[in-house]
Every structure is written in C-alpha cells, then in structure tokens.
Amino acid sequence: MDEAWIRETFLQLVQIDSPSLREGKVAAYVREVLQSLGFSVIEDDAGKTLGGECGNLIATLPGDAGRRRVLLLAHMDTVRPGEGVKPRVSADGVVRSDGTTVLGADDKAGITAILAAVKALVERKLPHGQVQVVFTVAEEIGLAGAKHLHPSLIASDAGLCLDAEGPLGTLVVAGPSQVKWTAEVKGRAAHAGVAPEKGISAIRVAAQAVAKMPHGRIDEETTVNIGSFVGDGPTNIVCDHVRLIGEARSRDERKLAQVMADIAAAFQQAAEACGAAASLQHERMYDGFRFAADHPVRQLAETALRQAGFPVQATATGGGSDANILTSLGVPTINVGIGYEDIHTTSEHIRIQDIVGAARVALAFCTLAYGSETEIVPASFL
C-alpha cells in the first residue's frame, strides 16, 4: 500500500468541511479520484430530498462476469464541531485535530482506505469482479442518506462497511433493530391555585408511566431510552399535555416487540388510573442483522482480515450504521473496525498505519471475492 498517498489523502479529506447535508466538496473530491480510476459515478437524489448539497455517490467498476460483486461503504459527513479541522501528526504517526474540533476520522479514514484499496486494485491490474463504492451523506443524522438509496442503483452480492470502532480485526457480526417512539398524554387543565383538584396533570401521569416502563439496559442486547420529555406551560395551570420521545433497540426481534408492548402498557395503565388519555406511536428506524459463522459475507470478511494480518475479533454492537441499511436492501454488509478512537469528541485520533491496514483489508475483500482458492494478493502487495 502507498502509505504516503494514504497519509496525504487523509489529511486533505479531514480539512474539507463536511457536516451533515454539506458534503458537496468531499463528494467532488472523491468523485474525481474514482473517475480517474475508471469508475462510473452516479449521484442520487438524496441531497435534494434531504435539503443537502449533494446526494449519495454510487460508483461502479466493471469486472469479470460470473464473479462475486462486492461493495465498499463509508459515509462522507462528520459531526460537529468539525469545521476548520487542523490535523496534527505526531512522530509516531497518530493524527489528531488541534483540540478545537473533531478530527473526522469517522469516517474519512474509511473513505481514504477504500480509495487506496481500489487504487491498488486498478493500478496493479489485480483480478476482480464488479466493485461498487458507495459514499453516503447524512449518516450522522440517523443514517438518512443510506435510507434514500434506491435498490436499483445497488448491484452487489457482499458488502464491507469501514465505519466501526475497535482495533483492526474487529468484525461486527450482529447489530440491533431500532424503533423510535412518541408517547402523548392528555390530562385536564385547571387553575393550579384555585381548583387543582379539577385538573389531571399530564406530567404526573407521564412520570408514573416512566417509573413503570422498561428503561436503560434491559439485557445484553436490548436498550430503551427517553430523549425528550416536554410539558411546557405556566405554573398556574395544571399541565394538560405532555409528549415524550424515545427509542428502543434490540438484536432480538421478540425482545424488541416485548419492550414496546411494555412501554405502551405502562402509559395506558397510568392514564386509566388517573382518568387521562395516552397514545403511543412508533416508527421503525432500521432493521438489525446477525451473520452466523457460516454466512458468506462473514466468511469473506474474516478471510480478508486474516490475509491482511489481523486476528478476527467478532463482536456485536448496540449501534446502527449504514451496514444495517445496505443489508436490508438485500446486500449483506458487514462492518469492520478501522482503528479510530474517541470519535465524536475533540480527542478523536487514529494512526496512519491503521488506515493503511484498513486499506489492505478492503483490497483483500475485493480480490478474495474473485473466488480463487489461493491467495490472489501477495503479502507484499497488501
């Protein structure tokens, strides 16, 4: 791998501002690189739909027919504060910001590794099937860009997402489904000083429901959280309306259904006991996944990790990623750790060597998918 090119590309990318829905300049940069390597690049209408500068990029490199078609996945946006990044490289090759912003290794390290991998694939004329590269927008605001990918633009058999925490070798083999829910409680208004007994406090009813409902970590694969509890009003009126917004996640669909039923029951019972009314609406945000040891995409990723020199550490996560969305679109996509640490903070950092390693994994994933029984990529090429 060309470490100097990787270093230069990563440092350039992190200095291009790309908060969610403002990824246009990064998109232009990576489009130019991909097109120079022979990829055809399509930009979808996700940006227009979401009100952003650009859409998702779907790049396709033709390959030998009859071979497994692979997809490499990363996202272009970063969290705030992520504008005006000033990267600093230590003597031992660790990259950080100057401490006033995030670094943006999440996920510009993934982008860099993918670009380096396909660059090596093309320039070394290594055998491969079709390769698709998907760079999404708005991942950091609820996987919004990936959710707008149209299935007709994706034609791959197996995907590798380079967007997970953990050292190289980390392989995320299971992730949760997520449901966002909104509860509303309607009580009865009354003068708080003259006739409070005529009122029904929606705040009190909701508080009783919250006290009874499942919350926090339910078990190793199930969580529930409340992010918003709003019952705004003057102090001299018994509050008659409250809205709560929360989420539930689980890697087990039965457990997810059960906690949602328990939440609904808690609100209903609290409302009935006080003469109030309660409702619960919910929306599925994304589907979970679980790749068994014999699943082809897991086997391919594990082999790629080992060939690149990294022991496999299979793990499950409680978070979501674009891999959830691509998998639900019919392309089994597995997420790998790429070595970044302290993401979403101004202490975020990554080693250049870890980006090089991630590129080696992505390259091995592409070449192994070709189907040869022997190593296609000599160790010296990785």
List active site positions: 77, 139
Distance (Å, whole) CA 17 – CA 65:
39
The whole-angstrom distance between residue 152's C-alpha and the CA centroid of its chain comes to: 21
Looking from the CA of 289 toward its CB, the CA atoms found within 13 Å total 25
The whole-angstrom distance between residue 85's C-alpha and the CA centroid of its chain comes to: 22
Beta bridge partners of 186: 241, 277
Which three-class secondary structure state does DSSP give residue 254?
helix
Question: Phi and psi (nearest 5°) for 6?
Answer: -60, -45
Alpha helix (H) ranges present in the chain? 3-14, 24-36, 46-50, 105-123, 144-147, 202-212, 253-274, 296-307, 322-328, 352-368
Looking from the CA of 69 toward its CB, the CA atoms found within 13 Å total 16
Q: 344 a known binding residue?
A: yes
Helix/strand number for the chain, H first, E second? 10, 17
Going by the annotation, the residues of the binding site for Zn(2+) are 344
Going by the annotation, the residues of the binding site are 344
